[in-house]
Amino acid sequence: MHQETDQVPRHVAVIMDGNGRWAVERGLDRIEGHYEGRKAARRFVEAASDRGIEVVSLYAFSSENWSRPTREVEALMGLIETALRAELEYLCARNAQLRVSGRLHELPEGLQRAISDAIRATDDNDGMVLNLCVNYGGRAEIVDAVRAIAAEVQSGTVAIEDIDENTVSEHLYVPGLPEPDLLIRPGGELRVSNFLLWEIAYVEFYTLPVYWPDFKEEHLDEAIADFARRRRKFGRLVGMDE
């Protein structure tokens, strides 16, 4: 019999893909797909919190998404800001803590304010962490960590020979989170798309041919059941070294 993982992953990361295709296939504007995607995100947070998942990371806007048409970029910025303000009460009722990963200083000021207000308002909560990734890029996160560490070396607070993997982890946008156990990508693509590159070293990948707006709690249950059947090795020879 093989070794099974814990039943429920601690940290689930999601690439919320397929909003555009969902809309286009219905003859709708792509932006309508993002509106539906927001509803799917709310359902996901609720289902994850009900199942005892400790951290959910959602890829809401990548550093590459700026190259989309201005109208779509502006719609997404507005949608994220509106959602943050509208869902604040709900997040607090769920005792959820909001964290945001990304180059936040490059975002519109209104969205920056909504982010800092929401982080502050959920700061005393100690339930599930919602890590919203906005203007996020995995390589940019590593570059920013390297810059922060280099500044500490320059100021003499860190010695080069003391830099190890923990040092890098401690300088990520949201340090202290458990690494993702399960990465879900709806929409059928088999790509990582610059998401949480440092953090996903040992993640279990799950994809499904369902667009994000159609993602329901039963899909999360299928992903968790699939995860529970996986044999996680972390580079070891499972069964021979235990």
Active site residues: 17, 65
> What are the angstrom distances between the C-alpha of 134 and each of 51, 161, 183?
25, 33, 17
> By C-alpha distance, which of 226, 228, 223 is closest to 48?
223
Q: Taking the CA of residue 181 as centre, how many other CA atoms within 13 Å lie in the half-sphere pointing to its CB?
A: 21
Q: Which stretch binds ligand FPP (CB under 6 A): 18-26, 147-155, 170-178, 191-199?
A: 18-26
Q: Does 18 bind ligand FPP (CB under 6 A)?
A: yes
- Which of 5, 31, 43, 65 binds ligand FPP (CB under 6 A)? It is 65
Among 37, 138, 180, 186, binds ligand FPP (CB under 6 A): 37
SS3 annotation, 143-177? HHHHHHHHHHHHHCCCCHHHCCHHHHHHCCCCCCC
Could you say which of 11, 14, 19, 101 contacts ligand FPP (CB under 6 A)?
A: 19
Nearer to ligand FPP, 58 or 149 (CB): 58
Work out which of 11, 12, 20, 136 binds ligand FPP, going by CB under 6 A: 20
Find the length of the chain: 242
Binding of ligand FPP by 223 (CB under 6 A): no
Minimum CB distance to ligand FPP smaller for 136 or for 227? 136
Cα separation values, 179 from 11, 89, 137, 164, 202, Å: 7, 27, 16, 17, 8
Of 174, 157, 156, 176, the C-alpha closest to 166 is: 176
Q: Which of 13, 41, 53, 196 binds ligand FPP (CB under 6 A)?
A: 41
Should residue 184 be labelled a site residue for ligand FPP when binding is judged by CB under 6 A?
Answer: no
Q: Residue 236 gets which letter from DSSP?
A: S
Nearest distance in Å: CB 82, ligand FPP: 8
Instruction: List residues near ligand FPP by CB under 6 A.
Output: 16-21, 34, 37-38, 41, 58, 60, 65, 76, 79-80, 83-84, 187
